[in-house]
């Protein structure tokens, strides 16, 4: 190691240990001719070697205050990915991914797959933000943190891929996920697919929209399975009326069901 390199390394170690924000501000000032050399030693040796959380915190803040995203992300990578003492630190993992989202988006997917102690909701919300549009990354986070409802919302409303959403709902097979799919299918006026989704979800909450949309999109009798599902939890005259009508227009197929239904007190 040259004398200059040794000197810069010693200065970097001194900076990290002193934990003085004002001193950091002077060293990281763009007018300092030795700034780059000290930064390199801080990133490569001084901070990765420390086990003091306060030293890490103050150094990271100094880099943030000095607007050094390139060096900050290199520093965080060395601490989080290669320093076992801070590998599980939630704040540092959050900061690494957030820095990548804002400055180096191509690295985000790699980080969210490698790490698992970050705040999934916070990171995913920032990824979805229109300023960043990292929809695949947000989807990956929601899947990783077992949030299937949020995951299918990303597929439906950000990626706008109804086919992928249908496949995902079938794979997950959760009622809340099927409900979201059913609502989206209604918005697309795909009533048969919406009916299937709502039946799988056992969710009658959109029955008025379903009945209204049914006037022109499907045969009235196609509503029977959906209306039977709805009657399990809903006691509503509209549902009963629609079911009677669906039975009636269904012909002989539903004749016995119609007779049985109207003979009961409804």
Rounded to two decimals, the pTM is 0.88
Task: From 86, 116, 146, give the residue that closes a domain.
Answer: 116
Q: How far apart are CA 263 and CA 247, in angstroms?
A: 14
Q: How far apart are CA 28 and CA 199, in angstroms?
A: 62
Q: 243 exposed, middle or buried (CB, 10 Å; 0-12, 13-18, 19+)?
A: buried
pLDDT of residue 90 exceeding 90, the answer is yes
Q: Are residues 78 and 42 in the same domain?
A: yes
pLDDT of residue 182 exceeding 70, the answer is yes
The answer to whether the beta carbons of residues 204 and 229 sit under 8 Å apart is yes
Taking all residues of the chain, what is their mean pLDDT, rounded to a whole number?
A: 92
Q: Is residue 124 assigned to a domain?
A: no
Q: Are residues 112 and 1 in the same domain?
A: yes
| Structure confidence at residue 2 (pLDDT) | 65
Tens digit of each residue's pLDDT (9 = 90 or more) over 227-238: 999 999 988 899
Q: Are residues 211 and 238 in the same domain?
A: yes
Tens digit of each residue's pLDDT (9 = 90 or more) over 121-167: 999 999 999 999 999 999 999 999 999 999 999 999 999 999 999 99
Tens digit of each residue's pLDDT (9 = 90 or more) over 68-87: 999 999 999 999 998 778 98
- Residue span of the structural domain in which 161 resides: 129-190
pLDDT of residue 212 exceeding 90, the answer is no
Q: Using pLDDT thresholds of 50, 70 and 90, give the confidence band for residue 172.
A: very high
Q: Are residues 246 and 174 in the same domain?
A: no
Task: From 116, 142, 163, give the residue that closes a domain.
Answer: 116
Rg of the chain in Å (alpha carbons): 29
pLDDT of residue 245 exceeding 70, the answer is yes
Q: Using pLDDT thresholds of 50, 70 and 90, give the confidence band for residue 19.
A: confident
| Structure confidence at residue 85 (pLDDT) | 86
Q: How many domains does the chain have?
A: 3
| Structure confidence at residue 109 (pLDDT) | 98
Task: From 138, 159, 190, give the residue that closes a domain.
Answer: 190
Q: Is residue 82 assigned to a domain?
A: yes
| Structure confidence at residue 1 (pLDDT) | 53
Q: Is residue 84 assigned to a domain?
A: yes
Q: Is residue 71 assigned to a domain?
A: yes
| Structure confidence at residue 221 (pLDDT) | 77
Q: Is residue 123 assigned to a domain?
A: no
| Structure confidence at residue 183 (pLDDT) | 97
Q: Are residues 110 and 136 in the same domain?
A: no
């Amino acid at each position: 190691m040259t004398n200059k390199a040794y000197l810069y390394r010693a200065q970097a170690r001194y900076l990290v240990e002193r934990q003085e924000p004002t001193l950091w501000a002077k060293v990281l000032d763009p007018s300092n001719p030795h700034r780059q050399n000290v930064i390199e030693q801080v990133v490569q040796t001084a901070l990765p070697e420390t086990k003091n959380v306060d030293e890490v915190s103050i150094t990271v803040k100094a880099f943030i205050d000095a607007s050094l995203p390139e060096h900050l992300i290199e520093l965080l990578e060395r601490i989080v990915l290669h320093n076992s003492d801070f590998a599980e630190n939630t704040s540092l993992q959050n900061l690494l991914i957030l820095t990548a989202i804002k400055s180096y988006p191509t690295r985000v997917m790699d980080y969210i797959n490698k790490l698992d102690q970050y705040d999934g909701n916070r990171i995913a919300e920032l990824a979805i933000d229109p300023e960043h549009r990292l929809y695949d990354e947000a989807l990956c986070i929601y899947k990783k943190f077992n949030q299937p409802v949020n995951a299918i919302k990303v597929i439906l409303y950000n990626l706008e891929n109804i086919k992928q959403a249908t496949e995902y709902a079938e794979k997950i097979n959760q009622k809340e996920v099927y409900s979201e799919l059913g609502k989206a299918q209604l918005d697309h006026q795909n009533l048969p697919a919406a009916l299937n989704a709502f039946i799988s979800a056992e969710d009658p909450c959109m029955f008025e929209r379903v009945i209204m949309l049914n006037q022109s999109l499907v045969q009235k009798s196609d509503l029977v399975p959906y209306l039977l599902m709805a009657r399990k939890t809903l006691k509503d005259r509209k549902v009963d009326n629609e079911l009677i009508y669906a039975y009636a227009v269904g012909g002989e197929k539903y004749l016995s069901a119609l007779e049985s239904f109207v003979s009961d007190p409804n």
